[in-house]
Amino acid sequence: MVDEARRPRIVIADDESIIRMDLKEILTQLGYDVVGEASDGRTALELARKLQPDLVILDIKMPTMDGIEAAECVTHEGLAPVVLLTAYSEKALIGRAKNAGVSGYLVKPFRESELMPVIELALARFGEMKGMESEVDELREKLEARKTIERAKGMLMDVHGLTEAEAFNRMRRTSMDSRKSMREVADAILLTHQVESRSS
């Protein structure tokens, strides 16, 4: 059973209502919270966008939009990890599923004992990926900030004839006095210079 304090929320989609009912029952018994059900890929995608679940389980063969197309949209938008269900183990389908960024794959009929490991692995992988994405964003932000600070420092050195240390200290003092980040101070310096250059 999963941690009751934080029951992962799942959207399920299968065009066969009996399979959906069975799947919902199994998931509920395992401690998951089924928050949405769909009988086609398009509705599943809309539910994923609206409900922001922790996981989406999709059957491959569905009307209006198949499970792989829906999975591609869900993963591309970073909404949730996707586990695909299929009665087909054709190589072409598995290739398409991989390219769609699917986190897990189960061939029907599956055993109840197979479901939980696939779900837990998909959730863990997705969590790791999100963590790495935010680290990359943070590093990119730091790099951009450093570039902006360097440009502003160079500007102060040129305009006011300051040494590198003097320019940096002036920026740091302004940052502390105004309670603004070095990046904000640098942006303001560059903007001011831009305005002055245009008006002169």
Domain borders along the chain are 4-110, 135-199
- Nearest 10 degrees: Cα torsion 60, 63, 69, 74: -90
- Are 41 and 73 contacting, i.e. CB atoms less than 8 angstroms apart? no
Q: What percent of the chain has pLDDT over 90?
A: 26
pLDDT cut 70: percent of the chain above it: 94
> Could you tell me how far CA 172 lies from the centroid of its own chain?
35
Which tens digit of pLDDT belongs to each residue from 152-170?
Answer: 998 888 888 888 888 988 8
Q: Which CATH number fits domain 4-110: 3.40.470.10, 3.40.50.2300, 3.30.230.70, 2.130.10.10?
A: 3.40.50.2300
CATH-assigned architecture of domain 135-199: Orthogonal Bundle (1.10)
> CA end-to-end span of the chain, whole Å?
71
pLDDT over 90 at 91, yes or no: no
24 has pLDDT over 90: yes
What are the structure tokens assigned to 27, written together? 């998931």
For the whole model, what pTM was predicted?
A: 0.65
What is the C-alpha R_g of the chain? Answer: 26
Query: Is there a shared CATH topology between the 4-110 domain and the 135-199 domain?
Result: no
Instruction: Kindly report the backbone phi and psi dihedral angles of residue 95, in degrees, each rounded to the nearest multiple of 5, phi listed first.
Output: -60, -45
